Amino acid sequence: MNTLDSAQIEAQVVACLKSACARPDGDFGLGRFLVTDLGLDSIDLVDLIYHLEKTFGITIKMGDFEREARRRTQGDFEVESVLTPAGRESLKLLMPEVPPEKIREGLTLSEIPLLFTVGSLVGMVESKLRSAR
């Protein structure tokens, strides 16, 4: 794959999003949350991942963010499915585009996908492309 700059990656991610959620128009800004703002459901997310993988020639696994946050955490990432303070800090560092107040005390593993924004996707794609070089 050719080297793409951030603007090109963002444009292609947005094109994939528009296709996956069947919303050709609307606000697809970097801060928009995939589930709560754009209304993507689990089927849409699977379709989106498929489009991203094909468009960029990368592999994305559903638990990539969680695995990376666990790897970075000193101590326990979670206890009984609730993120520890160390786990929340790792997630904040991994997802700087997410407002810090969203990564709050009591956050559970099942809520992590609700934190994904358009910017999270762009960052993930950029990271995957860098590691593929």
CATH number at residue 90: 1.10.1200.10
Domain residues for the domain of 111 are: 6-132
90 assigned to some structural domain: yes
- Element housing 128 (H / E): helix 118-132
1 assigned to some structural domain: no
Task: Tell me: pLDDT of 2 over 60.
Answer: no
Instruction: Return phi, psi of residue 47, to 5°.
Output: -65, -40
45 assigned to some structural domain: yes
Task: Tell me: pLDDT of 1 over 50.
Answer: no
pLDDT at position 19 is: 85
40 assigned to some structural domain: yes
Burial of 94 (0-12, 13-18, 19+ CB in 10 A): buried
- Compute the average pLDDT of residues 99-104: 96
How many distinct structural domains can be found in the chain? 1
87: closest CA among 61, 102, 107?
107
> How does pLDDT run across 46-56, given as a tens digit for each residue?
999 999 999 99
